[in-house]
Amino acid sequence: MKPTRIPALLLAIGCVAAATGVLAQTAAHRMTTPIPPGIAMPDEVQTRLGTLKFFDGFPDAQTVDRIYDNLDFQRAVQAYLLGLAPVNMAGLREGLLSVGPANVTIPTFEDNMNARSLFLTANATTPYTWVWINLHDGPLVVEVPPMTLGMIDDFWFKYVTDIGIVGPDKGKGGKYLLLPPGYKGEVPAGYMVVRVPTFESILVWRNMPVKGDIRPAIENLHKKTRIYPLARAANPPPNSFVNVSNRAFSTVAPADDRFWELLNAVVQSEPVESLDPVTLGFFAAIGIEKGKPFKPDERMKRILTEAAAVGDATARTLTYKSRIPEAFYYPNSTWRQWLGGYRFQSQRGVAHLDAAAFFYFYATGVTPAMEAKMVGQGSQYAVGLLDSQGNPLDGGKTYRLRVLPNAPVKDFWSAIVYDNQTRSMLQTDQDFPQVSSLDKGLTTNADGSVDIYFGPKSPAGLERNWVQTLPGKGWNMLFRLYGPLDPWFDKTWKLSEIERLD
């Protein structure tokens, strides 16, 4: 039977009718159902991509190209934001492995971290130990000293376990056994067993001072810290303890095209079971997939380059100018808080995408302790990104933060300044760009309040209360409370705004 040719006039009538949402019945078509509005695609659609053209709902060649370019770009930007966490980890990996091999090397800021080292919003008051863990060769034993406070996060920067004071050892120290993904071998007794979802991970802790003296903690670190393969437990090899204080090295990941290479390295390292299918799907959509080479063509390279720029711009916007009211500690305040807990969820089972992007762009270290109310224990954070008028903080201007009397801390508070570009300690003439209640010679007002000044020049006689900033450079700060007390949690004590003075 020969196919019936539809007369041109009837075809044109059908196209016009479809574009208006109603297909008129004609004598030539017995089996015709009226099409409800909103189903049919017009022949032309005006969008931010330009004019998209269709023939009876079928896109023309130019529209196809535009749609696929846009789809790849959208997926690349979302892949960038979802990739902030593992790429943050990959930056840590590169920096730490520059000090020495994984598992063997135990880098510690024995004299505290200063501004010479590039680490995302690290503190300058408690000595850190950072160890890169690699389980590709099998289970690993980690002997932790007493009186630490830390965690293990996997290569996707997801929480695995606490260690130390809030971990299974309860601050007494002890032997942890780290098992790699899919491990089915014998698990010997006598260990605190941790099954790590990824082959590579970060082990980080703070060495806690004893009555203000850090020397006992560092001595315990060297005497009681050991990391070795389970297979060599009978005769453990030695570790290399490296004091990285005042060391010029970076653990901050790049935001440009290298971002994609680092993301691909994480995807290739880890089992697909260790991450959700949707996130891996975004990565695969731009050519980053387990077991496959990452070789974007010239068109995709251009898209990925632009997506990296837009992704970085998006992360910075989400961090520095939030549009979420609950992101702030108090009404009409500029002080930011973490959102979404350690799982970054707006409610159970619902990812808080903006909160995760903010955290992984700005900070490191994920643990339930970051959301738990622990009166007199741990630490709390307030992020200062703007002045009291909602303007960016300008290194060429002078500002004041007044810490009101009776700050609600059992231990101490600190205010540390960071560079908006690197999110690391601001590099000036000061080793430690901070003011802390532990500082000797701090000037206190008659009512017990403390004024902290930020600017290129110190107010006369207030050098101890001053953090240097640089003209032409933006900055931000973290106000930390160590051993926070009830007035912080119930907000009967309020942190003052950062006020510009000139």
pLDDT tens digits, 204-225: 999 988 777 889 999 999 999 9
Residue 108 shares a structural domain with residue 212: yes
What is the helix (H) or strand (E) element at residue 345, kind and residue range? strand 345-347
* In a shared domain, residues 108 and 217: yes
Q: Which run of H or of E encompasses 347?
A: strand 345-347
Residue in the structure block whose two tokens are 């017009």: 42
143 contacts 164 by C-beta, under 8 angstroms: no
Cα torsion 198, 315, 121, 415: sign = negative
Q: Has residue 245 got a pLDDT over 80?
A: yes
Give domain status of residue 420, yes or no.
yes
Q: Rounded mean pLDDT of the chain?
A: 93
pLDDT tens for residues 120-148? Answer: 999 998 899 999 999 999 999 999 999 99
At residue 210, the pLDDT reads 77
Please write the tens of the pLDDT for every residue from 250-266. Answer: 999 999 999 999 999 99
Looking at the structure of the chain, the number of domains it has is: 2
Structure-block tokens of residue 335: 């002080």
What would the 3-class secondary structure string for 7-29 be? CHHHHHHHHHHHHHCCCCCCCCC
Residue 39 maps to a domain: no
Supply the pLDDT for residue 104: 97
Q: Are strands 128-134 and 466-468 parallel, antiparallel or unpaired?
A: unpaired
Quick: pLDDT tens for 24-37. 444 578 899 999 99
Range of the domain at 388: 322-500
pLDDT score, position 11: 37
Query: pLDDT tier at 379 (50, 70, 90 boundaries)?
Result: confident
Question: pLDDT per residue over 283-321, tens digit each?
Answer: 999 999 999 999 999 999 999 999 999 999 999 999 999
pLDDT at 393 over 70: yes
State residue 24's pLDDT score.
42
Please check whether residues 327 and 473 belong to one and the same domain: yes
User: What average pLDDT does the segment 487-494 reach?
Assistant: 97
391 and 490 belong to one structural domain: yes
Q: Is residue 30, in this structure, part of any structural domain at all?
A: no
pLDDT, residue 5, reads 41
- The answer to pTM > 0.85 is yes
CATH number, residue 237 = 2.60.40.1610
- For residue 219, is it within any domain? yes
Give the 3-state DSSP-derived string for 207-274, with helices as H, strands as E and coil as C: ECCECCECHHHHHHHHHHCEEEEHHHCCCCCCCEEEECCCCCCECCCCCCCHHHHHHHHHHHHCCHHH
The answer to whether residue 142 is domain-embedded is yes
Confirm whether 88 is domain-assigned.
no
DSSP string, 39-83: SSPPSEEEETTEEEEEETTEE-HHHHHHHHHHHHHHHHHHHHHHH
Predicted local distance difference test score (pLDDT) of residue 20? 43
Distance CA 371, CA 495 (A): 19
> Sign of dihedral through CA atoms 343, 347, 350, 354?
negative
Where does a domain end: 243, 269, 302? 243
Q: Give the pLDDT of residue 135.
A: 98
If you average pLDDT over residues 381-387, what whole number do you get? Answer: 97
1 pLDDT band, cuts 50/70/90, is: very low
**pLDDT on residue 18:** 41
Q: Which residue type does 141 have?
A: V
Residues 6+ apart with CB under 8 A from 346: 339, 340, 352, 355
- Judgement on whether residues 359 and 220 belong to the same structural domain of the protein: no
Q: Is residue 42 part of a domain?
A: no
Q: Which of 243, 274, 292 is the last residue of a domain?
A: 243
pLDDT value at 21 more than 50: no
Position 27 scores a pLDDT of 53
- What is the rounded distance in angstroms from the CA atom of residue 392 to the CA atom of residue 476? 8
160 in any annotated domain: yes
CATH number at residue 397: 2.60.120.600
DSSP-assigned beta bridge partners for residue 492: none
pLDDT in tens, 404-441: 999 999 999 999 999 999 999 999 999 999 999 999 99
Say if residue 238 is in the same domain as residue 360. Answer: no
**Residue 17: its pLDDT value, please?**
42
140 or 166: which leads in pLDDT: 140
CA triplet 269, 271, 277: central angle to 5 degrees? 120
Domain end: 228, 243, 258, which one?
243
Q: Same structural domain for residues 202 and 328?
A: no
Q: For residue range 107-116, what is the model confidence (pLDDT) as tens digits?
A: 999 999 999 9
Residues 109, 236 within the same domain: yes
